[in-house]
Amino acid sequence: MPKTSKVKKKVSKNKSKSVFKKKPKAPRFESKPKKIQNAKNTSSLGIFKVLYNYIQKHNMYIYTYGVIKLSNELYCPKWIFDICVAATAEGYIVSDIPIDISAKKFSRGLNKHYKEVKLLEIKYGAESIIRFMGEIKNPQYNSYERLRQFLYYTLKFEKKFFISKRKFKKFIGSPFNGTKKKEYSEDITLADFRKYIYSLRADLVEKAPMSWDIRNDEEDLSFLGELLRKDY
């Protein structure tokens, strides 16, 4: 009996040794990894090159006040769509430029930076605004002046919780950044234009100076300004 017990004890010791093996220690690096060493040697010129490549890769646009993040996966901001619709109507009324041509210009220009803005959306929006202005009786302002005032108000002011001046100089973000949800449509633009005209007649909104023109505005309108000034 005593012999068998000794054998069992030996077996159990061997099992414990096999189960609880010590893990090998990780080797210590005598020198730092190459990536860290190379990171210290990067010059300021190299940092700017990396930043430029990042901006190009993510389809970002540099303008006077900072960096605009543009993406074909984001929707066009509503205020930019409204300006394109009103400018299309203005071109038809003032210069007899066909609505299809103006809508095509703005649609192509916006589609370079945002999700597809259909030509028909801009076209129908401009036509509905012109049709509405034709129904106004005893107008206080002519059609061109109404559109000019609407362009000024849309560019200079924004409505979130309350109406406030649009800020183009921002540390974070930009008014040109796309939106995750589609916030515009020709029907919404027409409804906002109607409300604005009634407010304009009641003298409830700030008016544009007599010499103001959106194509010569003091703000840096980035690609939108180039699009507005582009010849047909």
R_g (Cα) of the chain, nearest Å: 32
Enumerate the H helices of the chain as residue ranges. 2-19, 34-40, 44-57, 78-95, 99-111, 119-135, 143-156, 186-201, 222-229
Give me the pLDDT at residue 135, please.
Answer: 94
Torsion sign over Cα 126, 127, 132, 136 = positive
Give me the pLDDT at residue 21, please.
Answer: 53
Give me the pLDDT at residue 64, please.
Answer: 42
The pair of three-digit structure tokens given for residue 198, joined into one six-digit string? 């009634």
Under-70 pLDDT residues of the chain: 1-71, 171
Give me the pLDDT at residue 231, please.
Answer: 83
pLDDT (tens digit, 9 = 90+) per residue, 16-37? 445 555 556 555 545 544 444 4
Q: Are 72 and 180 in contact (CB under 8 A)?
A: no
Q: What three-state secondary structure class fits 75?
A: strand
Q: What are phi and psi of 78, to 5 degrees?
A: -60, -40
Identity at 117, one-letter amino acid code: V
What pTM does this model have? 0.71
Burial class (CB in 10 A: 0-12, 13-18, 19+), 165: exposed
Give me the pLDDT at residue 66, please.
Answer: 47
